[in-house]
Amino acid sequence: MYKTVGRYIPESRDQPEVIEREYYGQGMIYKNWEAYYDTAYPDQVCYIPELSDSLYTRQDFLDICNGQPEIADRIFEEVDWQSPETCLEDQWYEELAICPDCKKWYWCYDVEKCPNCGNVKEHEMDQKTELYQKYIDILENLGWSVSSYTGDGRVEIEKYSPAGEDFIICVDAADFPKSVFEYAENFDVDEHIAMWIEGKENGTAGVPSTRELVCDAEEIEKMLQELSDALNNPETPNKTTCDAEENKWNCEVNLNVIVTEEDIDDIMVSALEGGITYWCREAEVIGERLGEGWGHEQIARGGILRLYDAEDGGYYDLNREKFLSGLKKYLEHPLYDGTILRGIHEDRMELDCGMIDAPAADQIIQYALFGEIMYA
């Protein structure tokens, strides 16, 4: 006899959608075993997690689990507060492997061959990417800790908020500073407060008052920004603060930034495909075409690119020396934090070209050609 926890009634013309959760396992959820195991109708809602109104069907579980019922069944039986995606990532990724031949997932502990096709086990689910020690040091200095690595190249880090929330984020480990920057930028204080208010209304125990939630969410936002700044701006100007008058003195710090051919190519693509097109009507290769591309590789390889001004009809020749001069000027006041990252060698910095979009590339080219921003 199948059981059901909670109640769910889909929206109809006569009545709104009804979601009633009950306590089960570790949280307040809706879970319907009969709906899940009814293979003839896989689109019935069978699960709703605690802190989200996302509706999950049997088909959703199958899609999440590579279309394999034996794995989907395991995940369905395990979920008792979280989403199935979180359950899979947090509890089971390290125990699963993917067969390079048949592409099926299987439980891999103490198994030498894929049980589906017999192929000898070679590849784990995904390669773990662990953080550099310098990032771990920054985390520990700010009170964060690494809780776990996932099988898909991400890392979970956590820190307790002032109100006692065990705040956990899961971000890409390979590009850790940028991932933290993006998480901090996208963190929504109001959404975080609303999530916990909803949880409190649904019976989650230990949720603070609304006033405390507001203060705590704002502190979490500061925690994230502090971590992002520490990771993405490791070299900050020296400054001394006078307590009496709160004056500040800045001391310039020269940074050794390594720029690769690929960096220059990426920036030139951003410039030529949108960044400068509102003032540059044409780009012409001068002399021998270098590289295999359509002209964006010219600068990094020592060539010349002639840019024709749509305003006055004149032209300007851009070469690598001018480009690097423009880049240097831009990096003194970049549009986005996180443009410069600490490299593998402690005394060198590297570019994160993911933070140099079309507007940023436009400024670099204008600094290179004019020494200032002429067009905005």
| pLDDT for 241 beyond 80 | no
**Mean pLDDT of the 130-135 span:** 78
What pLDDT band is residue 344 in, cutting at 50, 70 and 90? very low
Q: Is 346 part of a structural domain of the chain?
A: yes
Same domain, 213 and 154: yes
Residue with token string 């103490």? 110
Nearest to 31 by CA among 52, 58, 4: 4
Q: What is the mean pLDDT of the chain?
A: 82
What pLDDT band is residue 49 in, cutting at 50, 70 and 90? very high
Cα 9 to its chain centre, rounded Å, is 35
What pLDDT band is residue 63 in, cutting at 50, 70 and 90? very high
Which residues are CB-neighbours of 139 under 8 A, at least 6 positions away? 131, 145, 146, 157, 227
Same domain, 11 and 87: yes
pLDDT in tens, 98-110: 787 788 888 876 6
Residue with token string 């480990």? 173
Q: Is 249 part of a structural domain of the chain?
A: no
Predicted confidence at residue 298, as pLDDT, reads 83
What pLDDT band is residue 242 in, cutting at 50, 70 and 90? very low
| pLDDT for 156 beyond 70 | yes
Predicted confidence at residue 157, as pLDDT, reads 94
Percent of the chain beyond pLDDT 90?
Answer: 28
DSSP string, 12-28: -SSS--EEE-EEETTEE
pTM above 0.85, yes or no: no
Which residues are CB-neighbours of 349 under 8 A, at least 6 positions away? 235, 255, 256, 257, 258, 340, 341, 342, 343
Predicted confidence at residue 251, as pLDDT, reads 55
Same domain, 198 and 261: no
Helices and strands in the chain: count of H runs, count of E runs: 11, 20
Q: Is 128 part of a structural domain of the chain?
A: no
pLDDT in tens, 251-302: 555 566 778 888 888 888 888 887 888 888 888 888 877 776 667 788 888 8
| pLDDT for 243 beyond 50 | no
| Contact present, 272 and 365 (Cβ < 8 Å) | no
| Contact present, 155 and 169 (Cβ < 8 Å) | no
Task: For residue 11, give both structure tokens.
Answer: 């929206």
Same domain, 185 and 221: yes
Q: Is 283 part of a structural domain of the chain?
A: yes
What order do you get walking across the sheet with 257-258 strand by strand? 257-258, 349-351, 340-342
Predicted confidence at residue 244, as pLDDT, reads 42
Residue with token string 């993006």? 182
Predicted confidence at residue 253, as pLDDT, reads 52
Q: How many whole angstroms separate alpha carbon 201 and alpha carbon 293? A: 58
Predicted confidence at residue 168, as pLDDT, reads 93
Same domain, 22 and 99: yes
- The residue range of the domain holding 361 is 257-370
Q: How many whole angstroms separate alpha carbon 334 and alpha carbon 75? A: 46
- The residue among 232, 267, 292 that closes a domain is 232
Q: Is 239 part of a structural domain of the chain?
A: no
**Most confident region among 8-12, 126-130, 307-311, 332-336 by mean pLDDT:** 8-12
pLDDT in tens, 170-206: 998 877 888 898 899 999 999 999 998 888 888 888 8
